[in-house]
């Protein structure tokens, strides 16, 4: 038996891609995944380039793997993902012991590339952008828990000034609606109860149907909600530009769609949003939130924030703080701006010192944490529907699961509750974790 070791960095899309790589390589029992790198015959690094110095992180990791290859020259090292697409042949130039470089849209060709390297020991590279070809090679999905993610589209057309996604994932392209529904149906039959629809700009989905029409994102959610066994639906990540009224209406008429939305805003300053090329204003964003609350009064919103974007003054930052308070965000992913080569923002003048950026980030994250705790406190004494996922790591006498609004809940229960939705009364509250009693 040959073993593969795969290390994944980055977003949920990368996690999804890695699961597909594993399925392809495990086909016909040719390979088996191992968590013990010392046993591996093939080392795969699935990379992310969203943060600054991503390339250096990759080469540092490859340097550690070089030692393994020095001890065993037959080991094959493959690099995929966004950094692979971005760097291409330069990976071979800096790390000549790497055997394979594959892109975000060519991972399905990896088994063939491995076979060719075995035969002639010559390095292989394929970082092209064949449209949706990779999905034709994926095997039937296998359940790994009671929640599952499924990619419904790839790429992005927005070209925000700070973002490399259009260059590493390509332009937006949607999977056929029937393919998506078929994959989810298989997962549902295996016991998956919650599905997360993935895309770099998921609400721009426009998938072709069998009768050559277009299925828009709002319609897709409704179709997924009709699949027997699927009782909870999420999606990641959406863009305010295409958060249209038909999507908001889904919140009004589709209770399986959770009352929790991650909607990145990035800044509360219109000046900075313009520099980011986000093409909306804070007023536009607030209007979307107001309509969402009208459709789903109990909805909670999380968001993304970039702190210290080139040109961000203290006044701009305070506008972001005021906006966070106004919307009353629950949770966020917030980072100091990362200069990404090749993006428009990399040419902008940045005069803010790093220490000031760190201070701003700390202040923003502290505010969000306070608001998260306030949202959690509102749940005290309430009854929550919890999808039970397994035994608690902290106490084997307890089970754990997740609420609609992404809180982990622990409670005493029986093993037959695992994989089921259970009503739990919340009687202990922390920012991101709750405790309760099932009934």
- Average pLDDT over the chain reads 94
Q: What is the pLDDT of residue 139?
A: 67
Average pLDDT over residues 382-399: 92
Is 160 annotated as contributing to ligand binding? Answer: yes
Query: Per residue in 85-113, pLDDT tens?
Result: 989 999 999 999 999 999 998 999 999 99
Query: Per residue in 158-173, pLDDT tens?
Result: 999 999 889 888 889 9
Q: What is the pLDDT of residue 407?
A: 96
Average pLDDT over residues 389-414: 93
Query: Per residue in 296-351, pLDDT tens?
Result: 999 999 999 999 999 999 999 999 999 999 999 999 999 999 888 889 999 999 99
Q: What is the pLDDT of residue 215?
A: 98
Is 11 annotated as contributing to ligand binding? Answer: yes
Residue by residue, what is the 3-state secondary structure of the chain?
CEEEEEEECCCHHHHHHHHHHHHHHHHHHCEEECCCHHHCCEEEEEECCCCCCHHHHHHHHHHHHHHHHHHCCCCEEEEEEHHHHHHCCHHHHHCCCCCEEECCCCHHHHHHHHHHHHHHCCCEEECCCCCCHHHHCCCCCCCCCCEEEEECEECCCCCCCCCCHHHHHCCCEECCHHHHHHHHHHHHHCCCCEEEEECCCHHHCEEECCCCCEEEHHHHHHHHHCCCCCCEEEEECCCHHHCCHHHHHHHHHCCCECCEEECCCECCCHHHHHHCCCCCCHHHHHHHHHHHHHHCCCCEEEEEEEECCCCCCHHHHHHHHHHHHHHCCCCEEEEECCCCCCCHHHHCCCCCCHHHHHHHHHHHHHHHHHHHHHHHHCCCCCEEEEEEEEECCCCCCEEEEECCCCCEEEEECCHHHCCCEEEEEEEEECCCEEEEEEC
Q: What domains appear along the chain, each with residue ranges and CATH number?
A: 2-126 (3.40.50.12160), 133-377 (3.80.30.20), 380-438 (2.40.50.140)
Is 215 annotated as contributing to ligand binding? Answer: no
């Amino acid at each position: 038996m040959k073993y593969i070791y795969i290390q994944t960095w980055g977003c949920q899309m990368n996690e999804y891609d890695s699961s597909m790589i594993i399925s392809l390589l495990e086909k016909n029992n040719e390979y088996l995944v191992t968590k013990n790198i010392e046993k591996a015959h093939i080392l795969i690094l699935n990379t992310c380039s969203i943060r600054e110095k991503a390339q250096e992180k990759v080469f540092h990791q490859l340097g550690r793997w070089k030692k393994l290859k020095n001890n065993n020259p037959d080991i094959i090292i493959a690099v995929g993902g966004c950094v692979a697409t971005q760097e291409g042949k330069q990976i071979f130039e800096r790390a000549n012991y790497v055997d394979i470089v594959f892109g975000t849209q060519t991972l399905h060709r990896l088994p063939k590339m491995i076979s060719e390297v075995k035969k002639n020991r010559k390095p292989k590279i394929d970082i092209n952008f064949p449209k949706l070809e990779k999905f034709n090679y994926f095997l039937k999905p296998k359940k790994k828990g009671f929640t599952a993610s499924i990619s419904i589209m790839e790429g992005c057309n927005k070209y925000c000034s700070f973002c490399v996604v259009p260059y590493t994932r390509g332009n937006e392209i949607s999977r056929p609606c029937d393919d998506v529904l078929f994959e989810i149906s298989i997962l549902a039959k295996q016991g998956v109860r919650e599905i997360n629809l993935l895309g770099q700009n998921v609400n721009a989905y426009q998938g072709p149907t069998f009768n050559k029409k277009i299925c828009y994102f709002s319609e897709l959610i409704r179709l997924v909600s009709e699949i027997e066994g699927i009782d909870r639906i999420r999606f990641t990540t959406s863009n305010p530009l295409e958060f249209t009224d038909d999507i908001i209406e889904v919140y009004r008429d589709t209770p399986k769609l959770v009352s929790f939305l991650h909607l990145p805003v990035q800044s509360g300053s219109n000046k900075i949003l313009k520099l980011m090329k986000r093409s909306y204003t804070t007023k536009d964003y607030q209007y979307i939130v107001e309509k969402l609350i009208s459709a789903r009064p109990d909805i909670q919103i999380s968001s993304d924030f970039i702190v210290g974007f080139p040109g961000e003054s203290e006044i701009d930052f305070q506008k972001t703080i005021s906006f966070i308070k106004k919307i009353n965000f629950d949770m966020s992913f917030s980072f100091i701006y990362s200069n990404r080569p090749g993006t428009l923002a990399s040419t902008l003048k940045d005069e803010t010192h790093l220490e000031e950026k760190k201070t701003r980030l700390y202040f923003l994250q502290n505010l969000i944490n306070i608001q998260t705790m306030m949202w959690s406190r509102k749940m005290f004494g309430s009854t929550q529907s919890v999808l039970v996922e397994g035994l608690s790591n902290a106490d084997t006498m307890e089970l754990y699961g997740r609420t609609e609004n992404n809180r982990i809940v622990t409670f005493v229960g029986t093993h037959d509750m695992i994989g089921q939705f259970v009503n739990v009364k919340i009687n202990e509250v922390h920012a991101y974790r709750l405790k309760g009693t099932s009934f």
